[in-house]
Amino acid sequence: MTAYLGSRALYTLLTFFVVVTVVFALLRAAPGGPFDGERRLPPEIEANLQAAYGLDQPLTTQYLRYWGNLLTGDLGPSFKQKDFTVGELIAAGLPISLGLGLSALVLALMLGMGIGITAGLRPGSNLDQGLMAVTNLNLALPTIIAAPLMVLIFSVGLAWFPAGGSGSARHFVLPAVALALPYVAAIARLMRGSIASARLEPHVRTARAKGLSEARVVWRHMLPIAATPLISFLGPAAAGLLTGSVVVEQIFDLPGIGRYFVQGALNRDYTLVMGVVIVYAGAILTFNLLVDLAYGALDPRMRLRS
């Protein structure tokens, strides 16, 4: 188990190193620079700016210095948001992205499992077909269409929720629903399939024969085996919810790190993009590592193989 853990951790660190290096190189290769603004800069002013941010140094020096700072936890100053460091910006934006991602995940799980279990218990019934039709429609409707529709109906039309911003919990309802919808559909389909096959398992029939209540049969005897595929889905899904928030944050004016990512890339804000990439990469790698470890814990064969 220790060897398995060690190899997964090593692999994770290596991936992280490659991600940082590739993004660093890609950013410098992109045309334009962080100081191109609405107004032009005379050469002496451009030189002053380059010197102030160390961009007049050779690329290798910049790269090594970046790693040096990164290892001490310093993500550097933002080149564009001059009044903030990257660390400050991420500290301000990450709770919003995490809050959004987490509420969407909880929502997707509750709704998706509810629908999946309901449909899976009566496969082929009208209810099942109706629910699956709705989730299919849901899968087919991308967030960039669903989210503006929700704003139009629930903010502009009914005025139930704000159309944008982040001042209160109410501001997060529509974005969380918009972000969760595709995952609701995916989880529902996954659950329906595994519940439908779990209900045919011999031990489930035995449990029913013992006269246990339907709820107890579902919770105690069907869910544990039906949930295994769900767990392997959750790793990528959690990462997807975090990165998927880029679009939702843009539509709902939410000040999360997804917007920094878009703005930073457009502005050639090298340090800010690097910082957000590091957070995303860190999150995705951690989720994958956790899933790998969960596999190891759930399935003894994984441990033996390593």
Partner 1 sequence: MRFHYLLALLLTVTMPPHAHAAAQLHIGNTGEPQTLDPHRYNLRLEETLLNDLFMGLTTFSARGEIVPGAAQSWDTSDDGLTWQFYLRPDLAWSDGAPLTAHDFVYAYRRLQAPETAASLAYFMYMLKNAAAINRGEMPVTELGVSAVDDHTLVLTLERPYPYLLERLLYPTAYPVPKHVIERHGDAWVKPANWVSNGAYTLTEWQPQAHVEFRVNPHFVSEPAIDTVRYHAVATEQSAYNRYRSGELHAISAFPIGELDKVRAGTPDALRLSGLLSMMYLVFNTGHRPLDDVRVREALALAIDQRVLTDKVLRSGYTPAFSFTPTLLDAYEGVPQPHTMTPMPERLTKARALLQAAGINADNPLELTLRHVTGSEQKKVNLAITGMWRRIGVRTELHQSELRNHFGDLRQGDFEVAWAGWVGENNAEHYLGLLQSETGDVNYGRFSSAEYDALMAEAQRTADANARNALLQEAEAVAASLYPVVPLYSTAVRRLVHPDLQGWHDNPRDVHQVRYLSWPDPPQDP
**CB closer to partner 1, 128 vs 269:** 269
Using CB under 8 A, pick the residue from 233, 252, 270, 287 that binds partner 1. Answer: 252
Q: What is the rounded CA–CA span in Å between residue 202 and residue 295?
A: 25
**CB closer to partner 1, 82 vs 301:** 82
Q: What is the rounded CA–CA span in Å between residue 254 and residue 76?
A: 24
Counting contacts by CB under 8 A, is residue 39 touching partner 1? yes
CB 196 within 8 A of CB 123: yes
**CB closer to partner 1, 105 vs 285:** 105
Counting contacts by CB under 8 A, is residue 264 touching partner 1? no
Question: Which residues ranging from 60 to 99 are in contact with partner 1 (CB under 8 A)?
Answer: 80-84, 88-89, 92-93, 95-96, 98-99
Counting contacts by CB under 8 A, is residue 247 touching partner 1? no
Q: What is the rounded CA–CA span in Å between residue 286 and residue 238?
A: 10
Counting contacts by CB under 8 A, is residue 102 touching partner 1? yes
Q: Copy the structure tokens of residue 223.
A: 């869910």
**CB closer to partner 1, 92 vs 212:** 92
Task: Compute the least distance from the CB of residue 206 to partner 1, in Å.
Answer: 34
Q: What is the rounded CA–CA span in Å between residue 108 and residue 111?
A: 5
Site string for partner 1, 141-180 (x = CB under 8 A): -------x--xx--xx--x--xxxxxxxxxxxx--x----
Residue 34 neighbours by CB under 8 Å, 6+ apart:
53, 55, 79, 80, 267, 268, 269, 270
Kindly compute the dihedral angle of the four CA atoms of residues 158, 163, 168, 169, in this order, to the nearest 10 degrees: 70
Single out the segment in contact with partner 1 by CB under 8 A; choices: 191-199, 218-226, 245-253, 297-305: 245-253
Question: Which residues ranging from 105 to 144 are in contact with partner 1 (CB under 8 A)?
Answer: 106-107, 110
Residue tagged 């990462």 (tokens): 239
Phi/psi at 77 (5° precision): -80, 150
Counting contacts by CB under 8 A, is residue 58 touching partner 1? no
Q: Is 85 helix (H, G, I), strand (E, B) or coil?
A: strand
Q: What is the rounded CA–CA span in Å between residue 218 and residue 189?
A: 17
Angle (CA) 48 53 58, round 5° = 95
Applying CB under 8 A, which residues contact partner 1? 31-32, 35-42, 44-45, 48-49, 51-52, 80-84, 88-89, 92-93, 95-96, 98-99, 102-103, 106-107, 110, 148, 151-152, 155-156, 159, 162-173, 176, 249-253, 255-256, 259-260, 263, 266, 268
